[in-house]
Amino acid sequence: MNLKKITKKDIGNLLNQWSKDYTIFVPSNEGDTAEFRVLSSEFRGGGEASILKTPNSVPNLDWYRNTVKPLKASFFPPVEEMFRFQKGKEGHSIELPSQEHQQLIFGIRPCDGRSLRLLDNIFTDTYQDPYYLPRRDSAVLVGLGCLKPYDTCFCTSLGISPGESEDVDLMLTDTGDEFLIEEISDKGKRLMELTAGLEDATEDDTASAREAKGMAQSKVTREIDTQHLSHRLLSCFEDEEYWEKVAAKCIGCGICTFLCPTCHCFDISDEMVKKQGARFRCWDSCAFPLYTKMPMENPREEKWQRVRQKVCHKFEFHPMSFDVIACTGCGRCIRLCPVNWDICQTLAQLPG
């Protein structure tokens, strides 16, 4: 493996090089929530800064643990125009949206990198999604080791290391004043070959990175028992008393699904004024009473049924289809729930 390194003060130069070919997204803590935003134009020589401490300085990564809005939003937006349509004398005409710029997303945590692999299963299974896949195929993902995980994180229970990732193109590890850079994919290798200003990593650098990764792994103390989990969920599927107890304090707000990096349900609607309009798709949630409601019935009328669906989909139904749990242990659903509903506690208390 080709290992390089770069000093933190030179990260700005690195991003400037990449910005010639890509639209660069970096972690931002401006506004109400942490999210990936386009690299500020002032950073490149003009305009208004939005993500930097000062103009022409290094992006502020010291505060960064993870974004609130998950990485999926970069490939599967909360609201997305599918096409525009107009009725003319000869019938309807359709205008497809223009292709977006290639994205390079910098600072992706390993749990979010894994989430895209899980979403790939959905958007390529039986149907090749024409909106998600072009963005996904053209994007470059630059990972950043998570050396200060939240106490709500349980990624290690899902086979994910907070300091390493096989789901990005390049992987950076903070070793103090420098970042160690690892090539993960062919995309990452090509990017490294075209990047100036990188130094070869030494044995001391790799030792420092290995120590940092080990420390990060030890800091993830929350865990879930995934052994026989699908079987345990199946055995209590009809236990209404248990699911009512689990769902008791859930308020059905949908935050846990909207902010989950692997939830992918959406609704489709048309907006039309006179003879023209547009078709959109937008995120939907199994937490909502109207979700999957049909003309003659609502298959999940009770709240406990909707909570059961949320849990069973991730840990039973999805593994049945794709042989992998649809959870990355990022902890957003615990950390950001307004009533402190905890998926780890729910799974630990399964009957039997």
pTM: 0.90
Q: Is 17 inside a domain boundary?
A: yes
Identify the band that residue 98 occupies on the pLDDT scale cut at 50, 70 and 90.
confident
- Boundary-marking domain end, from 219, 248, 265: 219
**CB atoms near residue 55 (< 10 Å):** 13
Burial class (CB in 10 A: 0-12, 13-18, 19+), 91: exposed
Same domain membership, residue 26 and residue 167: yes
- 299-336 tens-digit pLDDT: 888 999 999 999 999 999 999 999 999 999 999 999 99
- Boundary-marking domain end, from 174, 196, 219: 219
> Does residue 267 have a pLDDT over 70?
yes
Q: Is 224 inside a domain boundary?
A: no
Q: How far apart are CA 51 and CA 73, in angstroms?
A: 19
Same domain membership, residue 17 and residue 147: yes
Same domain membership, residue 178 and residue 275: no
Identify the band that residue 41 occupies on the pLDDT scale cut at 50, 70 and 90.
low
Q: Which domain holds residue 246?
A: 229-348
Residue 191 structure tokens: 């990017």
Task: Please give the average per-residue pLDDT across 20-44, as a whole number.
Answer: 79
Residue 141 vs residues 171, 194, 345, 352: alpha-carbon distances, Å: 9, 16, 33, 42
Q: How far apart are CA 43 and CA 60, in angstroms?
A: 12
Is the Cβ–Cβ distance between 94 and 130 less than 8 Å? no
- Boundary-marking domain end, from 167, 191, 219: 219
Same domain membership, residue 257 and residue 177: no
**Mean pLDDT, the chain, integer:** 90
Same domain membership, residue 242 and residue 207: no
**CB atoms near residue 322 (< 10 Å):** 14
The tally of domains found in the chain comes to 2
> Does residue 230 have a pLDDT over 70?
yes
Residues 6+ apart with CB under 8 A from 193: none
Which of 27-41, 82-96, 197-211 shows the highest mean pLDDT? 197-211
Residue 174 structure tokens: 């903070």
> Does residue 233 have a pLDDT over 50?
yes
Same domain membership, residue 299 and residue 210: no
pLDDT at residue 318, as a whole number: 96
Specify the higher pLDDT residue, 282 or 95: 282
Same domain membership, residue 204 and residue 185: yes
Same domain membership, residue 150 and residue 20: yes
Same domain membership, residue 279 and residue 314: yes
β-bridge pairing 103-108 and 23-28 = parallel
Cα 205 to chain center, whole Å?
Answer: 29
